[in-house]
């Protein structure tokens, strides 16, 4: 059944000029881009987005990085979108990501790993609502 997920092209990939190539991979894999925009977020906004990781030792580094430059938040749709995007992204640590995945191709390190993707239906709903209003999702 058709499902929506949430993704972000992260600051490292935007800085390196990989946003277009990553979008091409996403479309090639059969995702429809429901909505996309380019924004820069504050550290406080990054902290709100990643609140589940607040107790982790890398939280400061992560939220500093996510607020370090423009990002492309987007909503994607296809059958099995949440699991399929995670597969297309590859492992969190690009050193462990499979050949052909976005992180294998475009990410430099576990901290700066090119792309975000929701990990479950409830987190996808929260994350879509964090960045997009209903009128942007038609
Ligand atoms: P994912 O982005 O694959 O869902 P996650 O939810 O476990 O991974 O972590 C969120 C982000 O936090 C991840 O994309 C990069 C950063 N991160 C995770 N583990 C890290 C670590 N050990 N050191 C530095 N940054 C880390
Ligand atoms: Mg995650």
ipTM above 0.85, yes or no: yes
In the reported structure, the alpha carbon of residue 23 is separated from the centroid of ligand 1 by a whole-number distance in angstroms of 21
Sign of the Cα torsion 92, 137, 14, 79 reads: positive
Q: Which domains does the chain have, with CATH numbers?
A: 2-133 (3.30.70.141)
| Range 52-78 average pLDDT | 98
In this predicted structure, the answer to whether residue 96 has a pLDDT above a threshold of 90 is yes
| Range 80-99 average pLDDT | 98
User: What DSSP string describes 53-83?
Assistant: GTTSTTHHHHHHHHTSS-BEEEEEEEETHHH
- What is the rounded CA–CA span in Å between residue 75 and residue 37? 10
- Ligand 1 atom having least distance to the Cα of 112: 15
User: Which two three-digit tokens encode residue 54?
Assistant: 């607040």
Pick the closest to residue 73 from 31, 119, 25, 40 (CA basis). 40
Q: What percentage of the chain exceeds 70 in pLDDT?
A: 100
């Amino acid at each position: 059944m058709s499902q929506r997920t949430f993704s972000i092209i992260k600051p490292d990939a935007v800085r390196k000029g990989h946003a277009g190539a990553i979008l091409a991979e996403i479309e090639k894999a059969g995702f429809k881009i429901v909505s996309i925009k380019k924004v820069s977020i504050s550290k406080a906004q990054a902290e709100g987005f990643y609140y589940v990781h607040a107790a982790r030792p890398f939280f400061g580094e992560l939220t500093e990085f996510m607020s370090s430059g423009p990002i492309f938040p987007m909503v994607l749709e296809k059958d099995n979108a949440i699991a399929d995007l995670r597969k297309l992204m590859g492992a969190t640590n690009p050193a462990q990501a499979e050949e052909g995945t976005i992180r294998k191709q475009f990410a430099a390190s576990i901290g700066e790993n090119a792309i975000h993707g929701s990990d479950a239906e409830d987190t996808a709903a929260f994350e879509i609502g964090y960045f997009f209003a209903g009128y942007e999702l038609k």
